[in-house]
Structure 1
């Protein structure tokens, strides 16, 4: 759940002159107390900050008054030489010592790293992984250095690195020294089959990536869109989520179109092309309304027909993978519509702990059209139950994917990874230092705007959440068995329904 701070910014409009009676003084301080108490209810996420250069924060419950200075982006001194500012705090000094437990999906961090528990991670492993990587990130004493090996698609690498820089600003001095490789493409890269069995050549190199699958060893990391996808005008996650929440309020769930909606580029995957046959035709109505997304046309016309906040118009929305996983998942689930999830092969960092029929409705890959038709019929005949699934999915997205949780996931993943290193990270000869100034001040237009919007302006006032222990094998298998059992139950309902109709 997104963390909040209490903002108390008071300025005296004039100096009190002369003697002030005791009664007036008491009334004045009573008024200030009431004002502060009212502000205590304001919803101001700590990550977002305020548009002002400085802010004074107070904790009414503790009675302690703390001043916190914000450090907004200042390009005036750095726009020419692109140097890093030295005025940001280098140490993390939280005001709160109590910590909350991290969400359950953080347990998968241990699972993603367990391949290297016994061997550790050597410098040789890093070197062997370079051909698979787009870039290398090294953090030394809280400063970040990047060595680029190959171009990424659009600005995936730029906004991924930007997100890591914001983590360093949120917890200054707390992220340990580390050396890692990152791949920004779609397909998984480090495959288990290449490192299993008696003929396996060596221990697999660790490679950070946006998605994983059962057959791969890629280390899953939050994708770049949490800080914005400028090429398609998708705002940073906090701003985008607020827009979607406002957009979904325009039409009540029961008044929305009683069909399943999907809009996207179908030509990135054969499974999506196959999905087109489910659209309304003269012969069939599978209760699906599909719309092809022409991004070139949208770019030319100013994205007038691709705004995500305008797409909460149907009771049901379909999630189907693209080339691999799709960043669309969180936006689809945020709509309060029932997410009809075509069985995914790939997973991102948060989806493995979602539960079918609680957070989404499972759809098979082989019988997509028939499954969706039944899901819609079922939901339209049981509107309260269907609406509850939609709301639970949205709640999961809003609370589990607060930017606080995203940053804490990043922190714990990098921290656990650093514990496995068997060597002291050193700055590569061809790496360059990057910071908020070198990245944002050199960018332009929407790129810079999104960076400013998603910038962490002050260190956190509290510790990261507490990382839960790993799952045991029995728990993981029980989860997989439960998913399969639920899917079979839905299939049984579907068979019975079509036999009667």
Structure 2
């Protein structure tokens, strides 16, 4: 991995966006230079406040090039007093899963040896020491997942300066969970952060990179895209949408997706009420992503979610469309999806009989438009209201706070780790990558405290919640079976 150090000339950018006012002593001369820079380029740069959701798009959105060298600026680490808040609001319910993800280490704590053990499968090691972020890279990462994940952690450090504890974490940045439960029945597993988990793994679930934008696929940062999707929903009524189920994506990533193609309408097959479109991302990139804009895909009353290699970042975009989401039996989860409830936030679809299940769901929804529209709206409200970036950062904050409590040693910067600073992650990229990072930048420390972390669920309540979800799915399956029996009897 190349050097992550950049010169004080890049520090001007950091100061310009209010990022290091709490960490550096700014001279009077530096202040006036900043004012001059703001005046010179404000007509060209886009700025967004993550917490307010304000997004200003200028006619000229090309960012000026900045001359950067190879060193992060010298910094004086200041630890401000914790932000004061009279009464912290309650976190969304899905925050309770933090306790479940960290439960394997509740009795033993986490030792340096445990963390080092996770190095065998990790892509990077991430440390926070005295409010400064460091990284050690072990192996190549797909696209820029590592850098964008680090960018997200930098935003957290800015949002809650001085409040993120010292940390030592291993991250696996692929698709599949890797810490299998069956391998650690007699001992505590190595702690490993990852974007998703499943019932057979101990991976600690962490928000994925796409919340800060996915420039390789031209998918904008979540706070920007979420607002655009909401505006689209307001201008496109559910009743006026196509009365079919829609899915568009790479059909080659999994058996479930390849099988989903069979649900498409053709001249020689039964009408399954599905419209499935294959996406060749290589061809799409050559064409400038003209047909892949997610804002233009909220055109049907029903949208299908189907996993790829594992979980897919697309679920939040699908839920945000106001369409009734048809979720094909998922095997994986990310940090917010475990609290989604079948028939409330989405409609469950059997993996084995997906075509017939999709047809039944669409027929039922078209016959019960008020209920179907309500499910679509509930799923959309879930991500529009409970998945704002403030909560994404609060989830990260509480997860890392609880993780730090389990550490049985004082983290220190290992040999080979390098500092990660705003200068590096802004000045080292151009075009969309720079734009997305600037669009997803936290501009100021939060004036309020993080939301209040819910207590752990007691085992009885957790079992009851999971059984409720299973029962709701069984009810849908019984209704599908009864409908199919009735259809067969009429033949």
The alignment's TM-score, normalised by the length of structure 1, stands at 0.83
The partner residue of 2:435 within 449, 463, 468 is: 449
Equivalent residue runs for 1:57-456 within 5 Å = 79-84=68-73, 86=75, 90-94=79-83, 96-196=85-185, 200=186, 202-281=187-266, 282-456=268-442
- The Cα shift of 1:300 comes to 0.6
Give the Cα separation in 1 of the matches to 2:275 and 2:484. Answer: 21
* Cα deviation 1:439-492 (Å, max 9, x = unaligned): 111111111110000001100000001111011111121112111111111122
Aligned 8 A contact 1:248 1:313 in 2: no
- Cα separation, 2, equivalents of 1:46 and 1:396: 18
Contact 1:152–1:184 (CA under 8 A) maintained in structure 2? yes
* Structure 1 contact 342–365 (Cα < 8 Å) conserved: yes
Instruction: Give the Å deviation of 1:283.
Output: 1.7
**2:43 counterpart residue number:** none
**TM-aligned CA deviation for residue 75 of structure 1:** 8.7
Runs (5+) with no aligned partner, structure 1: 1-42, 53-72
**Contact between 1:47 and 1:403, CA under 8 Å: does it hold in 2?**
no
1:46 paired to 2:51: yes
Secondary structure of 1:266 counterpart: coil
User: C-alpha deviations, 1:402-457, integer Å up to 9, x for none?
Assistant: 00000000000000000000111010100000011111111111111100000011
1:364-414 alpha-carbon deviations (Å, 9 max, x no partner): 111100111000000000001100000000000111100000000000000
Deviations 1:68-94 (A, max 9, x none): xxxxx9996x82234147489642552
SS in 2 for 1:268: coil
Displaced runs of 4 or more, over 3 A: 47-52, 73-76, 84-90
1:410 to 1:245, Cα distance in 2 relative to 1, 3 A = same
Which stretch of structure 1 is more off in the superposition, 103-112 or 86-95? 86-95
| Contact 2:50 2:442 survives alignment (8 Å) | no
Specify the alignment match of 1:25 in structure 2.
none
Separation (CA, whole Å) in 1 of partners of 2:177 and 2:248: 25
Greater displacement, 322-331 / 79-88? 79-88
- What SS does structure 2 have at the residue aligned with 1:260? strand
Whichever of the two has the greater Rg, that structure is 1
| Partners of 1:48 and 1:454 within 8 A in 2 | no
Change (3 A) 1:419 1:361: same
SS of residue paired to 1:172: coil
SS of the equivalent of 2:252 reads helix
Aligned residues: 434
CA shift digits 1:307-357 (9 cap, x unpaired): 000000000000000100000000000000000000101000001111110
Task: State the distance in 2 between where 1:404 and 1:317 align.
Answer: 27
Instruction: Provide the C-alpha distance between the structure 1 equivalents of 2:137 and 2:81, rounded to a whole number of angstroms.
Output: 29
What is the CA–CA distance in structure 2 between the aligned matches of 1:192 and 1:385, rounded to whole Å?
Answer: 40
